[in-house]
């Protein structure tokens, strides 16, 4: 067991003896914010003291009297208002590293309480190219899915493709009247986008075109064979282009149901909400009001328009019901930009009303009943800010167009290729191309994951491709550099350093070891708060601590015992770097 878990368990036991009715789930041990005070810290006793009307420091003393962690820690200190500070014994650090070297763990443990988590991400719209806004959803969502899986949860990914909606009326008019077959063949999404732009402009000016678009949409909704055929073709062409991008990004989905999948459910859903009084008529439309929920008081949600049509909200409610029936998830995570915050607040609030109503209707609807008997399902909107150009305005091409994802990835690889060619002119071109692919795609992903996701960030090629600084290439090179140490240490087989004795004496060795030990805590925090940037910063610090260690502690030139011990540190650092980058969806190479 990892030392911080050991400390946590014993602390919980001690708390149980002193306060038998305390909620043990709140008794947690976290990394100490300042290494001066120790390796780990617990703030739990202060929180427990309050409701029990105890003096926190006195409670800390009582708990300490029952706490025995002498085998793992130096004497525990009480600090400030009642913090407990723990400093690991050197022997505990060594034991944890040795267990990792033997392959027992890589400083994280799979959860003992796996949850079923649906991640709804990427979700581009058919007949429109994927643009940089979708890149964040794709990269963030994929990363969260990876981290949750790594920690042992059952993750189901669903790409909620925008394959239905009023834009298809316009697209159908354009397709029938103005389609350029050759252009469609050459670049299907560009041609569909051209049609969409042309027709939406025309609809603004010409009521006859607008009417024609409405007619085509009605025909499509009514199941007209010709319109359905064209619509399906548009989806297939778009999906093929999306798939090319997903393959380049290494992103996979378990499901791509798309909005249209839920069409058959919409009428009954709306009727049920109306019959239960959750939705009511307003000016010919059907609306859910949230008068009882303060922030949504003046923000009712439309679920059926006055022309009888359904919308994005209706579809999302049906999607939720379907997911609940099909997978009974413990949590659903939606990854979109911040402009959809209101939409998801409404969806979650409407769904809660719907679901709580179902508790009364025992067994009438098995899906909703099962939800009622399970602990509350968690719904999370994980939103992010915009990508800005270096001028601080929304990121655009020189000519003012939105940047297409495919072009962006091409440019990333091209720029990385130039850099690699300068650095490594002797490498064969195919080798340089491969390094450029891994570095270019990795740089784009990392630049997207590193900032706090809710802030806007400035897109800068120079920054993201820099070899120095908090970037993917820096971490990828750090990994490759360690691999080159092992190549130089020919004859040092894995077997040897897996069983070597570990000694930690130099402060740089100890600092590196401590950082390694925290990998799991960082993964858990990133998953709990949906913040991949925690992992980025952790890996960056790890690479920095490794560099300091490598500068001050000779490895290959050290005497036999230190050499073996230090090679273990090298190996574990490389493995954590690789696993951490993999959790971010970023590849690395043995040689660069």
What Å distances lie between residue 454 and 84, 145, 381, CA to CA? Answer: 33, 19, 12
CA-to-CA distance for 83 and 127, rounded, in angstroms?
57
Residue 262 or residue 446: which is nearer to ligand ARG going by CB?
A: 262
| Sites for ligand ARG among residues 408-467 (CB under 6 A) | none
Element (H, E) at 358: helix 341-360
Cβ atoms of 33 and 41 closer than 8 Å = yes
Nearest CA among 406, 326, 397, 332 for reference residue 366: 326
Element (H, E) at 149: helix 132-150
Q: How far is the CB of 326 from ligand ARG (least distance, A)?
A: 15
Q: Does 123 bind ligand ARG (CB under 6 A)?
A: yes
Residue 351 or residue 546: which is nearer to ligand ARG going by CB?
A: 351
Separation of first and last alpha carbons in the chain: 36
Residue 154 or residue 343: which is nearer to ligand ARG going by CB?
A: 343
Residue 162 or residue 169: which is nearer to ligand ARG going by CB?
A: 162
- Phi, psi of 209, rounded to the nearest 5 degrees: -65, -40
Q: How far is the CB of 120 from ligand ARG (least distance, A)?
A: 5
Tokens of 236: 């297939």
Site residue total, ligand ARG (CB under 6 A): 10
Q: Does 381 bind ligand ARG (CB under 6 A)?
A: no
Q: Which stretch binds ligand ARG (CB under 6 A): 123-131, 426-434, 464-472, 584-592?
A: 123-131
Q: How far is the CB of 86 from ligand ARG (least distance, A)?
A: 43
| Sites for ligand ARG among residues 45-104 (CB under 6 A) | none
Return contacts of 455-464, CB within 8 angstroms, 24+ apart.
Answer: 455/385, 456/385, 456/386, 456/387, 456/388, 457/385, 457/387, 457/388, 458/388, 458/389, 458/390, 458/392, 459/132, 459/387, 459/388, 459/389, 459/390, 459/395, 460/390, 461/411, 461/412, 461/415
Q: Which of 62, 120, 448, 509 binds ligand ARG (CB under 6 A)?
A: 120
Residue 199 or residue 320: which is nearer to ligand ARG going by CB?
A: 320
Cβ atoms of 484 and 544 closer than 8 Å = no
Tokens of 286: 């059907």
Instruction: Tell the burial category of 325 from Cβ atoms under 10 Å away from its Cβ (0-12, 13-18, 19+).
Output: middle
| Sites for ligand ARG among residues 326-345 (CB under 6 A) | 334, 336
Residue 332 or residue 449: which is nearer to ligand ARG going by CB?
A: 332
Q: Does 316 bind ligand ARG (CB under 6 A)?
A: yes
Residue 323 or residue 531: which is nearer to ligand ARG going by CB?
A: 323
Q: How far is the CB of 324 from ligand ARG (least distance, A)?
A: 14
Q: Which stretch binds ligand ARG (CB under 6 A): 117-125, 358-366, 410-418, 433-441?
A: 117-125
Q: Does 209 bind ligand ARG (CB under 6 A)?
A: no
Collapsing DSSP to helix, strand or coil, 162 comes out as: strand
Q: How far is the CB of 330 from ligand ARG (least distance, A)?
A: 18
* Cα dihedral value 322, 323, 325, 331, nearest 10: -150
Tokens of 287: 């609306």
Q: Which of 146, 153, 160, 432 binds ligand ARG (CB under 6 A)?
A: 160
Residue 162 or residue 520: which is nearer to ligand ARG going by CB?
A: 162
x-or-dash pattern for ligand ARG, window 486-525, by CB under 6 A? ----------------------------------------
Nearest CA among 513, 521, 506 for reference residue 40: 521
Q: How far is the CB of 311 from ligand ARG (least distance, A)?
A: 11
Q: Does 42 bind ligand ARG (CB under 6 A)?
A: no
Q: Which of 31, 162, 165, 532 binds ligand ARG (CB under 6 A)?
A: 162
Q: Does 125 bind ligand ARG (CB under 6 A)?
A: yes
Burial 180-219 (b: 16+ CB within 10 A, else e): eeeebeeebbebbbbbbebbbebbeeeeebbebbbebbeb
Q: Which stretch binds ligand ARG (CB under 6 A): 51-59, 121-129, 229-237, 377-385?
A: 121-129
What is the contact surface with ligand ARG in residues (CB under 6 A)? 120, 123-125, 160, 162, 316, 319, 334, 336
């Amino acid at each position: 067991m990892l030392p911080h878990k050991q400390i946590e368990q014993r602390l919980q036991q001690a708390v149980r003896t002193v306060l038998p009715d305390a909620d043990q789930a709140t008794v947690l041990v976290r990394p100490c914010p300042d290494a001066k005070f120790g390796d780990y810290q617990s703030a739990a006793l202060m929180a427990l003291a309050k409701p029990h009307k105890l003096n926190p420091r006195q409670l800390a003393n009582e708990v300490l009297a029952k706490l025995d962690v002498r085998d793992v820690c130096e004497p525990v200190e009480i600090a400030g208002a009642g913090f407990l500070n723990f400093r690991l014994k050197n022997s505990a650090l060594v034991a944890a590293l040795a267990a990792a070297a033997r392959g027992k763990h890589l400083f994280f443990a799979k959860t003992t309480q796996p949850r079923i988590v649906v991640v709804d991400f990427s979700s581009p719209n058919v007949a429109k190219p994927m643009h940089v806004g979708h890149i964040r959803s794709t990269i963030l969502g994929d990363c969260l899915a990876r981290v949750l899986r790594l920690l042992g949860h059952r993750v189901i990914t669903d790409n909620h493709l925008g394959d239905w909606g009023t834009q298809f009326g316009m697209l159908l008019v354009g397709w029938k009247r103005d389609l350029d077959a050759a252009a469609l063949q050459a670049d299907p999404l560009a041609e569909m986008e051209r049609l969409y732009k042309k027709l939406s402009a025309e609809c603004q000016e010409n009521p006859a075109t607008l009417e024609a678009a409405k007619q085509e949409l009605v025909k499509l909704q009514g199941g007209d064979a010709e319109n359905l055929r064209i619509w399906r073709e548009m989806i297939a062409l778009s999906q093929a282009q999306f798939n090319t991008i997903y393959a380049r990004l290494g992103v996979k989905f378990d499901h791509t149901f798309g909005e249209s999948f839920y069409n058959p459910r919409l009428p009954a859903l709306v009727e049920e909400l109306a019959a239960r009084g959750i939705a009511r008529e307003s000016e010919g439309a059907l609306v859910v009001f949230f008068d009882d929920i303060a922030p949504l008081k003046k923000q009712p949600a439309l679920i059926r328009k006055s022309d009888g049509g359904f919308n994005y909200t209706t579809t999302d409610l049906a999607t939720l019901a379907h997911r609940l029936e099909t997978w009974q998830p413990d949590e659903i995570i939606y990854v979109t930009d911040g402009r959809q915050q209101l939409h998801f607040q409404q969806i979650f609030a409407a769904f809660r009303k719907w679901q709580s109503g179902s508790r009364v209707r025992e067994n009438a609807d098995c899906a909703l009943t099962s939800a009622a008997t399970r602990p509350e399902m968690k719904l999370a909107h994980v939103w992010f800010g915009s990508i800005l150009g270096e001028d601080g305005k929304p990121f655009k091409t020189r000519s003012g167009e939105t940047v297409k994802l495919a072009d962006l990835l091409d440019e990333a690889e091209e720029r990385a290729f130039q850099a690699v060619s300068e650095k490594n002119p002797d490498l064969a071109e195919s080798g340089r191309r491969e390094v450029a692919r891994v570095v270019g795609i990795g740089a784009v992903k990392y630049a997207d994951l590193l900032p706090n996701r809710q802030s806007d960030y400035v897109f800068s090629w120079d920054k993201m491709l820099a070899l120095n600084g908090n970037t993917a290439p820096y971490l990828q090179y750090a990994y490759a550099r360690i691999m080159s140490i092992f190549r130089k240490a020919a004859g040092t087989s894995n077997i040897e350093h897996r069983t070597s004795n570990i000694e930690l004496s130099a402060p740089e060795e100890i600092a590196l070891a401590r950082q390694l030990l925290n990998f799991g805590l960082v993964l858990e925090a990133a998953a709990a708060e949906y913040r991949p940037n925690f992992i980025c910063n952790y890996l960056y610090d790890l690479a920095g601590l490794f560099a300091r260690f490598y500068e001050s502690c000779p490895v290959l030139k050290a005497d036999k015992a230190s050499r073996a011990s230090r090679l273990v540190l090298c190996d574990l650092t490389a493995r954590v770097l690789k696993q951490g980058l993999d959790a971010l969806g970023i590849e690395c190479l043995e040689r660069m």
